[in-house]
Structure 1
Amino acid sequence: MPYKPARKIMPKRKGFRGKEPFLKTGDMIHWESFLERNFIRLADFDVQVEEIFYQPVCIHYLLNGKKHKYFPDFKLILKDGRVFIIEVKSLRFKNYPSNVIKYEVGRKFCETQRWHYEVFTEEEINPGYLQTNLSLLRHLGTQDVSDKIMDHVLEQLKQKTEIYLFKLRESCEEINEENFYKAVYQLIYLQEISTDLVNVKLSDDSVLRYSVEGERSSCS
């Protein structure tokens, strides 16, 4: 059965709304702020997250004798089966009394479902250069490149504890430049190569390390 959000996102006269591809599933996920869009990218990059749903539930609650509805932003399904309801909120609005009430409502609802509830702000979503790097990786790191090329890049990297990207390029000179960068960026995006994406803007001077935890399955 196709997924149906709890609230339909209508066109917005002010601000921005849009859709962002969740690359793991191919679904288009609606967002209502750039911060929400960036959260989708962050969730897609998180190897523990398998699925994401927007406007997932409507939570009814009473406040001062009046009925209210709360629509959290996202629902995440993790590989280990855990479920998270996520509220994305700009830091300047996070502690508004009306929002704090919604957080408590969300937490109590999640307790009844044995789910988890979290609030994310730009501190968690946009640290340092992370989103700039993710934007680059989502563009170049998702283009077609052969397994043979990626395997060769990984083999060269395995021979070093760590190496500058430009040095790895020198050791893979038989691969043309375009395919080399496609392979490296894809391996970083798949987290088979690790590098600092928060404190350093991705470049030829980035320090790369082989990530054992992200090693590709031989069946892929």
Structure 2
Amino acid sequence: MSIHSNGERKSAGQSAALRLNITPQPKAERAREPVTPSRGLVRGQFPSTKMKRMIAWESQLEQKACYHFEFSPAVIAFREQPETLYFPYQERMCRYTPDFELTLYNGEIIYVEIKPLSKLRSPQMLERLQLANQFLAEKGYNFIVITDEELNFPNRIRNFSILRPYLRFEIAFHISQQAKAWLANDPTFGALSQFFGLQSIAFALLAQLHIRIDLDQPLNLASALFTPANGDHHHETCLFTYRTGPDFRQCAIPTDSHS
């Protein structure tokens, strides 16, 4: 499918700059460089509870992005390689397909490119991304780039992989309220598991963000738990940061771990 010049499927928030309620982010860890270059693409399938299907990814960065989209309440839907764009580039028509399309809780559409940060240092790549950004902006869409600087958090990805199966669990309102009340007694993951008698309930409460945890610390029985801050809009929560054009610098990152 391509986005044509008449600009159909415009987003609800097309006139405003992109502003997501981003959770605090740690400093990214540098990915280990392979001893020898990869001889082929790494591909796989991400089992998405949110989308009720497998999502294809073509790099480990894309796989990590899938985890962040899956767990972010601000993202109500995402799909891979959604649209093919055609725009003028160096006296010819350039064909470009974004890696993902996100649909936000407010109906806004965002197109996403996943790239190693080193690729953004290429003038040719930067120019191409800027052209895609300009083309999509003219049609009323937001365009973001997410790099390894925004995705390389080993503890977070490990915690996501542990919690992912529990996204499909049904959590009744009274269970959520009981859990939040219990935190006043002993706010640890082990204590919460003992209170309900089932560790799966505690996992589900964490996975669905009824109860918060520092996702960038290893999850264990002693992990400290806390409830969302007053006024926190759960549905607006975004667990990743991103880069926007034209220079694709990283957007502001909160530093208060409980904000």
- Aligned partners of 1:128 and 1:214: how far apart in 2? 27
- Aligned partners of 2:86 and 2:171: how far apart in 1? 50
Conserved 8 A contact 2:176-2:210: no
Please identify, of 90-99 and 45-54, the stretch whose mean Cα deviation from structure 2 is larger.
90-99
Q: In the alignment, does 2:208 pair up with 1:190?
A: yes
Letter in 2 for 1:208: L
Greater share of helix: 1
Listed as ranges, the gaps of 5+ residues in structure 2 are 4-38, 236-259
TM-score, normalized by length of structure 2? 0.67
- Aligned partners of 1:131 and 1:189: how far apart in 2? 13
Report what 1:85 is aligned to.
111
Q: In the alignment, does 2:185 pair up with 1:168?
A: no
Listed as ranges, the gaps of 5+ residues in structure 1 are 7-12
- Aligned partners of 2:234 and 2:97: how far apart in 1? 38
How many residue pairs align between the two structures? Answer: 198
Query: Alignment partner of 2:51: what SS?
Result: coil
Conserved 8 A contact 1:19-1:28: yes
Q: In the alignment, does 2:181 pair up with 1:159?
A: no
Report what 1:10 is aligned to.
none
> Over aligned residues, Cα RMSD in angstroms?
2.8
> C-alpha offsets along residues 86-123 of structure 1, whole Å, 9 cap, x if unaligned?
00001222322232122112211221221111100122
Q: Residues 157 and 124 of structure 1: is their aligned pair in 2 closer, same or farther, counting only changes over 3 Å?
A: farther
How far off its partner does 1:155 sit?
A: 5.0
Letter in 2 for 1:113: K
How far off its partner does 1:211 sit?
A: 2.8
Q: Residues 70 and 143 of structure 1: is their aligned pair in 2 closer, same or farther, counting only changes over 3 Å?
A: closer
Bigger relative contact order, structure 1 or 2, given CA contacts below 8 A and separation 6+?
2
Match 1:211 to one of 228, 241, 256: 228
- Aligned partners of 1:129 and 1:27: how far apart in 2? 25
Report what 2:239 is aligned to.
none
Q: Which runs of 4+ in 1 moved over 6 A?
A: none
Conserved 8 A contact 1:149-1:183: no
Q: Residues 14 and 26 of structure 1: is their aligned pair in 2 closer, same or farther, counting only changes over 3 Å?
A: same
- Aligned partners of 2:47 and 2:190: how far apart in 1? 31
Q: Residues 53 and 152 of structure 1: is their aligned pair in 2 closer, same or farther, counting only changes over 3 Å?
A: closer
Q: Residues 110 and 163 of structure 1: is their aligned pair in 2 closer, same or farther, counting only changes over 3 Å?
A: same
Query: Alignment partner of 1:67: what SS?
Result: strand
How far off its partner does 1:78 sit?
A: 0.4
TM-score, normalized by length of structure 1? 0.78
Report what 1:108 is aligned to.
134
> C-alpha offsets along residues 178-214 of structure 1, whole Å, 9 cap, x if unaligned?
x2x211111111111011102x111112110123647
Letter in 2 for 1:135: S
- Aligned partners of 2:109 and 2:56: how far apart in 1? 19
Conserved 8 A contact 2:193-2:202: no
Letter in 2 for 1:35: L
Q: In the alignment, does 2:149 pair up with 1:123?
A: yes
Report what 1:24 is aligned to.
50
Q: Residues 190 and 144 of structure 1: is their aligned pair in 2 closer, same or farther, counting only changes over 3 Å?
A: closer
- Aligned partners of 2:183 and 2:233: how far apart in 1? 13
- Aligned partners of 2:163 and 2:120: how far apart in 1? 30
Letter in 2 for 1:127: F
Conserved 8 A contact 2:75-2:103: yes
Identity of aligned residues (%): 23
- Aligned partners of 1:118 and 1:89: how far apart in 2? 11
- Aligned partners of 1:157 and 1:214: how far apart in 2? 22
